[in-house]
């Protein structure tokens, strides 16, 4: 029987309580334990449902109430199948690239990609947009695949800085080019709904590599993502 308890994982908690407020991430890769995929999705839903019911009980909620009775399972299904589906590598989109037969050598930009993620420090939602760009190096990719890459890495507990780098790394790996840019502008409910409760604040992160380290190329990208669509 596998031990999925928190025993042995909470040592030094007093020293890490403030990490979330400092927005500290410990690795570029999403931290995963060695048993992350020992359970099937169905088994995870059952286990999470049981644990969430216990959380609700501790909070004093009456699970006999018709409105609350199904909540633990709804939350469990939402976590596994929707909000955190990016944790499962089986859900990673298959990305096919194509020969750049038209010899296009300028920027390809997909802007205003809807972004939904979850703050790993408080498990509060993150909402925003991502803008991604690349310069073809012999291969091009269907535009919707750029959206799917953003969505996959967003659908897991995240720190925005890590999310930005993960998307850029996947683009470089998939497109086999260093000429990649990622720019994210997002609102964090851990800032807006708790703590300081500042509702107008957003966080911007960016990752540039290859030709995007050149000031002119980077400015071309930034001007494009900030330009207005024609009426």
Closest C-alpha among 87, 159, 150 to residue 114? 150
Does 198 qualify as catalytic in the annotation? no
Q: Do 49 and 116 share a domain, yes or no? A: no
- Reported as type and span, the H/E element at residue 163 is helix 160-175
pLDDT at 18: 58
- Domain limits for position 73: 13-91
Res 6: pLDDT: 45
**Pair (144, 179) in one structural domain:** yes
Residue ranges in the chain modelled with pLDDT below 50: 1-14
For the chain, what is the domain count?
2
pLDDT for res 1 = 39
Helices 71-78 and 41-59, packing angle to 10 deg: 130
Paired with 141 in beta bridges are 97
Q: What is the pLDDT of residue 226?
A: 93
Are 19 and 65 members of one domain? yes
Residue 122 known to be catalytic: yes
Structure tokens at 155: 């659908």
Q: Is 51 a catalytic residue?
A: no
Q: Domain of 82: which CATH number?
A: 1.10.286.10
**Catalytic position from the list 110, 131, 170, 188:** 188
Catalytic residue among 46, 51, 116, 122: 122
Of the residues 110, 131, 160, 170, which is catalytic?
A: 160
CA distance 88 to 71: 23
Is residue 7 a part of any domain in this protein?
A: no
Whether residues 105 and 83 share a domain: the answer is no
Q: Are residues 110 and 49 part of one domain?
A: no
Residue 192: its pLDDT value, please? 83
In a domain, 70, yes or no: yes
- Picking from 22, 57, 91, the residue at the C-terminal end of a domain is 91
Annotated active-site residue 160? The verdict is yes
Going by C-beta distance under 8 Å and a sequence separation of 6 or more, which residues neighbour residue 68? 56, 61, 62
Catalytic (active site) residue 207:
no
What is the helix (H) or strand (E) element at residue 33, kind and residue range?
A: none
Whether 120 and 157 have beta carbons less than 8 Å apart is answered as: yes
| Residue 138 contacts residue 100 (beta carbons within 8 Å) | yes
144 in the same domain as 117: yes
Would you call 23 a catalytic residue per the annotation?
no
């Amino acid at each position: 029987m596998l031990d999925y308890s928190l025993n042995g994982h909470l040592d030094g908690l007093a020293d890490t309580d403030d990490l979330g407020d400092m927005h500290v991430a410990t690795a570029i890769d999403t931290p995963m334990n060695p048993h992350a995929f020992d359970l099937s999705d169905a088994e995870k839903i059952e286990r999470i449902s049981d644990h969430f019911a216990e959380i609700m009980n501790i909070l004093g909620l009456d699970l006999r109430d018709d409105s609350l009775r199904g909540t633990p399972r709804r939350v469990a299904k939402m976590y596994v199948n929707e909000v955190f589906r990016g944790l499962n590598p089986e859900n990673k989109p298959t990305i096919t690239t194509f020969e750049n037969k038209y010899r296009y050598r300028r920027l390809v930009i997909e802007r205003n990609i809807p972004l939904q993620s979850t703050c790993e420090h408080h498990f509060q939602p993150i909402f925003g947009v991502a803008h991604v760009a690349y310069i073809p190096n012999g291969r091009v990719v269907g535009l919707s695949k750029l959206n799917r890459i953003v969505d996959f890495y967003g659908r897991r507990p995240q720190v925005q800085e890590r999310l930005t780098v993960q998307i850029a790394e996947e683009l470089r790996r998939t497109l086999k080019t260093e000429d990649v840019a990622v720019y994210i502008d997002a609102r964090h409910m851990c800032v807006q709904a708790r703590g300081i409760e500042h509702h107008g604040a957003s966080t911007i992160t960016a990752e540039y590599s290859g030709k995007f380290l050149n000031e002119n190329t980077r400015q071309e990208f930034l001007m494009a993502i900030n330009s207005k669509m024609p009426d």
